[in-house]
Structure 1
Amino acid sequence: MFKKLFSKTDNNTKLSLIAPLDGEVLSLEEVPDPVFAEKMMGDGMAIKPSGSTVYSPIQGKVMQVFPTKHAIGLQAENGAEILIHIGLETVNLKGEGFEVFVKEGDSVKVGDKLVQFDMQIIEQKAASTITPIIITNTADMGEIKKTEKKQVVAGQDEVMVVDK
């Protein structure tokens, strides 16, 4: 069901990120938060979720589970560092509405359940449900190609390809 993660061509490793959420694809520039829209944390894209479960978009390792459970940092085998930030201003929820299924140091594969969240709590108490997916070490990576799809299905659709 899940796509191949890496392909090697001409000594270049490409990482394929699979949609971690079901939903509508947005460019970072469309995210109503300047930290993401102006790419201060790195390049990537965002998903306005239609589902409430976040799955691993890569095979790699959990590097950070934020204490407030609103974000997870992953590292792919090619060194790409990925931040999945669930909603906007969700740090203020102090963990309310989030259930985390992994811990720092865990190995994950595409489709592993990372976090489940209560969409109603985020809609009522946070700025937005929009979830940025950021490559935080873009300076260490090559080209980042983003999907042109408008809707994606978690665990099935490729959302980004990152060159090393």
Structure 2
Amino acid sequence: MFNFFKKKEQEPVKSKEVTLYAPADGELIKIEEVNDLVFAEKMMGDGFAVKPANGTITSPVDGEVTTVFPTQHAVGLLSSSLEVLLHMGIDTVSLDGKPFTTQVKEKQKLSHNDVVSKMDLAAVKAEEKETDIVVIFTNGDEVIKSFELTKTGMVSKGEEVGKVFLK
């Protein structure tokens, strides 16, 4: 049988919404509750945080790794057109990567259940740093129409916690 109709290669359709997932087991809080003015006042963008119960950190979105910081305290992700910064701990850049074991690399595709990093919570606390896992939308002003958290309180990593609706 002959196929006379060639299928055109189509551009992948960019989603108009991005589902958000808890990046750790623990207590989900609003970004305004993070004990750091840069995050709480949304200087880097809107988002949310989780006070982790353990050190396994997973991706908060389905997407691609765009950046792994040399100090391993943060990972940049892209989901549709939404840029997401996954920041592990508060003021942890000064720890020079010691309490982190990053398990992803740039250009790697991730689903929300994939482990991004292992964080030694005791080591972070021993340095008198907070362990909050902060999820920030760094280009939100450009691409977000609205953002809603549908869950607060105790969450499990990989659990759906909200949505971002894109312009």
TM-score, structure 2 normalization: 0.87
Aligned pairs for 1:55-70 (under 5 A) are 55-70=58-73
Moved over 3 A (4+): none
How far apart in 1 are the matches of 2:156 and 2:149? Answer: 15
Aligned to 2:82: 80
Q: Specify whether residues 25 and 103 from structure 1 end up closer, same or farther in structure 2 by C-alpha distance, changes over 3 A only.
A: same
Distance in 2, matches of 1:126 and 1:132, equals 17
1:49 maps to a residue whose letter is P
Task: Write the distance in 2 (CA, Å) between the matches of 1:74 and 1:99.
Answer: 17
Task: Please give the per-residue CA displacement for 1:89-143, whole angstroms capped at 9, x wherever unaligned.
Answer: 1001000011011111111112111100101011111420112111111112110
Q: Distance in 1 between matches of 2:150 and 2:53?
A: 18
The number of aligned residues is 153
**Identity of paired residues, percent?**
39
Q: Per the alignment, in what secondary structure is the counterpart of residue 16 of structure 2?
A: strand
Q: Is the 8 A contact 2:23 2:133 kept in 1?
A: no
**Structure 2 residues not aligned, in runs of 5+:** 1-12
Say whether the 8 Å CA contact 1:87–1:126 is kept in structure 2: no
2:122 counterpart residue number: 120
The aligned residue for residue 152 of structure 1 is 155
Q: Distance in 1 between matches of 2:133 and 2:103?
A: 18
Query: What are the Cα deviations for residues 29-71 of structure 1, in whole angstroms up to 9, with x where unaligned?
Result: 1111110000000001111000201111222110111100001
Distance 1:60 1:27 in 2: 23
Check if 1:97 corresponds to 2:99. Answer: yes
Q: 1:16 matched to which residue of 2? A: 19
In structure 1, stretches of 5+ residues that fail to align are 1-7
CA distance in 1, matches of 2:106, 2:128: 25
* Contact 2:151 2:162 (C-alpha < 8 Å) held by counterparts: no
Q: Which has the larger radius of gyration?
A: 2
Answer with 52-61 or 114-123: which moved more.
Answer: 52-61
In 1: Cα distance, 2:139 partner to 2:55 partner: 27
Q: 3-state SS of the aligned residue for 2:145?
A: coil
Q: Secondary structure at the match of 1:73?
A: strand
Q: Distance in 2 between matches of 1:43 and 1:149?
A: 16
- Alpha-carbon separation, structure 2, partners of 1:19 and 1:12: 20
User: How far is the alpha carbon of 1:144 from its aligned partner?
Assistant: 0.5
Contact kept, 8 Å, 1:93 with 1:126, in 2: the verdict is no
Structure 2: distance between partners of 1:31 and 1:47: 9
SS, match of residue 115 in structure 1:
strand
Q: TM-score normalized by structure 1?
A: 0.88
